[in-house]
Structure 1
């Protein structure tokens, strides 16, 4: 089995100022470019935008200043949970989004220099936020929210084991493992949350640690019992018309089953079925991107912005896009969405922290559980950066996405429901 395929696998001008003179000189030795100009510029736009988004979290964590410097903006209807969960949210979600990119090998290109620096800080930050006495020590022992963001950290390690798990020292690994196991005194809610428990236990299983069998299996079993058809799972017994199939359900279902199959605890046909359902959902996601490069602000958690497109992004990363969708369609569609959503005043504050909103600063639309750290779910749509620059996703000529073809009077693929 190829684990990569199973598991997935700055202000923009400010990027240059983040490089030291030594790094800039090293960049002169970069290898020959393999991308055509348009695709090259799109990849550069993507990685600079992801760096702008992730660097405040990762660099402050590495410096022990995340809690000191990260602004805490809460929804006007924020509930009684401790607002300190926002820091774990920022870490878990950011790391899950940057993991595939950081898993690429080091090189001396401008991108490679940024990526290596972010990876070094990410590893240092993980050590610090699990170190007793650290000002950025993350809390897992109370509240239910840590169940969620432990899962995104677990998914991080599944997505980039060699880059972000194996290099950690033994003490840090033990502290992370113990933190994950400490969550077993709290049960996930009967919703997409069940997969948070499952993927956390799947990660423990993947590294040979003791795991909770019931917690590991419950998410997969229950979500399968809630499947509604045509690529959509219910979030509980009923279908919720929102993006939780993308935020959580499809990616964590597929990644959990990948581990279970690898460990001979599930049949491959179960994984294949989950993957087919995710592919079908990805078809709908690609078609929902308008000709102008927008998508509908539907349902809960729309402040997670492009995190809503994680399922499509992960299928692209896995190189499992359906035949009706060319990789360049996804690249061009997502690039246009990013330009519409992230080049808008108010999306970032003056220090490049994300602010509450969907397109700009709109705190009034934030849900009762939303604070600054929650917003870093947005990084989850950047997963295709884990594909090397030589991959077809980046090298193919620009391609109109389905809605742009349809509304432009061009031929486009017909669409039919599926029965699996």
Structure 2
């Protein structure tokens, strides 16, 4: 794919960046294009940027502040990266906006308000551009800025990453003799400690909240806080080690073409997903080499640019590639996508830093098929070299508070699987039908049960398992699901326990494109293939009666026409075991051959699966005695692997 004609970029640098062709000049050019393109949408006093698009629940004035704050963050990185040279227009624009905004154009900071989010962006931007901007403001404007940001002191935040907005805002204020409360700063940093789960993973608040916020918020803000203090009390070393451990796994979340795994909320922030990669370079806290860091970050941004992001107006819209409101949340307004500014953090590194000068280097996903269990978030990642697809099997992230708080489901968290090249159907009607990536028991009217609170069982090797309660009319079903990943395949095993007579349905990936995918069915299987050759298939290996394909329109972030293969059967009552083969591949897929190539036997709650090459996997579902194997894999060319109860 190529850069759209309305976006001018320098010639590709194939000498230093053999894979992406992108270097620092390309990043600067894209930043300048984004900043130039929002200028016409500034209010007369430059304090707000009111881009076109759906307003958020916070209203147009808050959205205008958001547009200012988030583009100001990008401007600050650009100003600091240029050492203030050749960026006088940015300095003038945002100085003028700061003066008017702090003097009254911005709404005051109140408890749990959107202003808190934007205050943090402004505080970071002011800190990073301080010699060229804040220190050149007149005394009256400096006082106004201190006063407006100081409205944060004593206010309540939401109990998630928002606590860090208070930390960085008040720490900046402390550095400029503004109002602040040291106890609030310490309390905020202490609050995130119970949310740290190990191996580099935080949860975004209590519960099981694992998504891109872990990188672009939970790691980002504490480390940027250390840039504001003379003595971090030893916290910085801890934060750097955590980031290093996180990035060792995070590097696997990107496909060969730069596509990030499409999971979690606020996906409209797009290339903010590369912020933790740059953060690792900025703080010397990365297991990646400088060439690997730039290669991954540039690959992601190039991926979006080649697919029309920003659009022909130079704007970042509410969506993924095109505008797609079901991808967003009600807190998202026209300025929200400009949290993508975090992805330009690398501009803070000087032009002669190794991350900009070293040759691009390959990453593990370039060389080998990989399967990686991530026990902390409850994920298994599976990537394939031949098509560059990464699949995420989800048995741990549900975005719910711990019980007894009520649980709900969300298409960006409740699905059994996500991927770099496929997205869930998220339009309201499609979400009500909830076909893709979901095991459901259907009511008499066809309404599917929901997967709300995910109760984790085990995550190791190529295997993950969990259970949830599915409520249908007045009946409750216990559904235990185990997933085993290998290449483009997921063997998905369900133990469904409950009353007889209801239909059970298991959905595969939704694949989408501008034109309708081609759908095919056979005995016990169904498949859908996009015009560019991406195939999703569902093959019933045991327990299923038939298969079909479900289609949607305007429901998917990857294109207006989507299709999902699924299998189904009538539940006999009591305990029943169902085994599916879930496929997502850009290679040729032959469902009949796969159905014949896998051998499955079910004995009570024990399932044995023999792969076409002879590898054997045995699983035990339900209650398993302590010390007994839940999962046992016997490869054809290595030692056995067991996961014990």
TM-score, structure 2 normalization? 0.52
Distance 2:43 2:292 in 1: 37
**Structure 1 residue matching 2:247: 3-state secondary structure:** helix
Match of 2:365 in 1: 403
Q: How many residues align?
A: 364
Alignment of 1:263-282 (within 5 A): 264=231, 266-267=232-233, 269-282=234-247
Change (3 A) 1:158 1:67: closer
Change (3 A) 1:188 1:275: same
Alignment of 1:21-420 (within 5 A): 38=17, 41-57=22-38, 61=42, 64=45, 70-74=51-55, 78-79=56-57, 81-105=58-82, 113=86, 115-132=87-104, 137-141=105-109, 144-184=113-153, 186-260=155-229, 262=230, 264=231, 266-267=232-233, 269-318=234-283, 320-322=284-286, 324-345=287-308, 347-407=309-369
Distance 2:101 2:198 in 1: 41
Match of 2:8 in 1: 13
Distance 1:68 1:144 in 2: 18
Q: Which has the larger radius of gyration?
A: 2
Gap regions ≥5 residues in structure 1 = 1-9, 16-33, 410-415
Gap regions ≥5 residues in structure 2 = 370-384, 387-459, 461-645
Distance 1:68 1:337 in 2: 26
Distance 2:184 2:237 in 1: 22
Structure 1 residue ranges (4+ consecutive) displaced by more than 6 angstroms after TM superposition: none
**Structure 2 residue matching 1:130: 3-state secondary structure:** helix
The answer to whether the Cα contact below 8 Å between 2:31 and 2:78 also exists between their aligned partners in 1 is no
The answer to whether the Cα contact below 8 Å between 1:190 and 1:236 also exists between their aligned partners in 2 is yes
Change (3 A) 1:119 1:35: farther
The answer to whether the Cα contact below 8 Å between 1:329 and 1:400 also exists between their aligned partners in 2 is yes
- Cα displacement (A) at 1:381: 0.8
TM-score, structure 1 normalization? 0.78
- Cα displacement (A) at 1:209: 2.5
Q: Deviations over 1:180-200 (max 9, x none)?
A: 112335311111111111111
The answer to whether the Cα contact below 8 Å between 1:357 and 1:363 also exists between their aligned partners in 2 is yes
Change (3 A) 1:153 1:36: same
Distance 2:116 2:40 in 1: 24
Higher-helix-fraction structure = 1
Higher deviation after alignment, 221-230 or 202-211: 202-211
- Cα displacement (A) at 1:120: 3.5
Query: Comparing both chains, which one has the higher relative contact order based on Cα–Cα distances under 8 Å and sequence gaps of 6 or more?
Result: 1
Q: Deviations over 1:311-334 (max 9, x none)?
A: 22222233x143x41111121222
Superposition RMSD on alpha carbons, in Å?
3.0
Change (3 A) 1:170 1:405: farther
- Cα displacement (A) at 1:375: 0.9
- Cα displacement (A) at 1:14: 8.8
Distance 1:209 1:35 in 2: 48
The answer to whether the Cα contact below 8 Å between 1:354 and 1:376 also exists between their aligned partners in 2 is yes
